Structure 1
Amino acid sequence: MHELTETELAEILPGTWRIAATNFPMWLSGERLQPQFRYGLLSESPLTLSDEVAYVTTEGEEKQILGKDVLRRGEFVWRGKGLLSFARSRWHVSGADEQRTLLVIRFSKSIATPPGIDLVVREGSSYPHLRRVVASSTEELGLSPEDFASLGWLGV
């Protein structure tokens, strides 16, 4: 697996990604459903993205967490908007499949969250046997066997 360049990240990330597997308690609790990320390109240098995390509550209400990501020394620094403007976290893409429609995103520990992994699939992409695909591509995706074993699969 090679590390994605700033240019590759600017080409790949914009768009909508659904979380297919994760080890984050907030997505595994069953209280937040259908989680997805929407990234928009704000600037190429430094690479800056708008960041919207969307999900549905168990009552059917759509919720959003808005922020902005700036690439610094190989990782994104996320900063929330509005009431979350004090919140920050760090993340990076640790791997991608050949088509760049399946990514592994690693998050560092923050004040509000443990370190974790989200496996995301680009909206409109189909992976009928996603677990099998990921299991046979762990090195390419930057996942250890322990990482793979820690993942909970969301509706897959």
Structure 2
Amino acid sequence: MKKGRFIWRGFGLLKILSSQWEVVTMKDDILIIRFEKSLLTPSGIDILVRKGKDISNFQDKAEYTYESLGLRAEEKVEIKWL
């Protein structure tokens, strides 16, 4: 398996589910994980920002310098900030 990749497996009733995940970026206060589709979810990315950090600067960085974060152009346009 490629470095930074792992297989997620569900627990309990979800034990039959699995998908491949990859740590794309882990620096400063940011963690970006890309995951493959499973039987119940589409593929996607998770962007986690350390609690208490202002994400507005990161949103600009993700918009304009997404490649430096390991994101693809098609992923950048699909980001939904919560």
TM-score by length of 2: 0.78
How do residues 3-152 of structure 1 correspond to structure 2 at under 5 angstroms? 72-74=1-3, 75-97=5-27, 99=28, 101-152=29-80
TM superposition outliers: structure 1 runs of 4+ over 4 Å:
none
Larger RCO, structures 1/2 (Cα 8 Å, 6+ apart): 1
Q: Structure 1 or 2: larger helix share?
A: 2
1:96/1:140 CA distance change after superposition, 3 Å: farther
Q: Structure 1 or 2: larger strand share?
A: 1
Unaligned segments of structure 2, at least 5 residues: none
Instruction: Render the CA deviation track for 1:17-74: whole Å, top value 9, x for unaligned.
Output: xxxxxxxxxxxxxxxxxxxxxxxxxxxxxxxxxxxxxxxxxxxxxxxxxxxxxxx433
Name the CA distance, whole Å, in 2 between partners of 1:141 and 1:96: 9
Unaligned segments of structure 1, at least 5 residues: 1-71
TM-score by length of 1: 0.46
Name the CA distance, whole Å, in 2 between partners of 1:142 and 1:76: 17
> Aligned residues: percent identity?
38
Q: What's the Cα RMSD here?
A: 1.9
Name the CA distance, whole Å, in 1 between partners of 2:61 and 2:2: 30
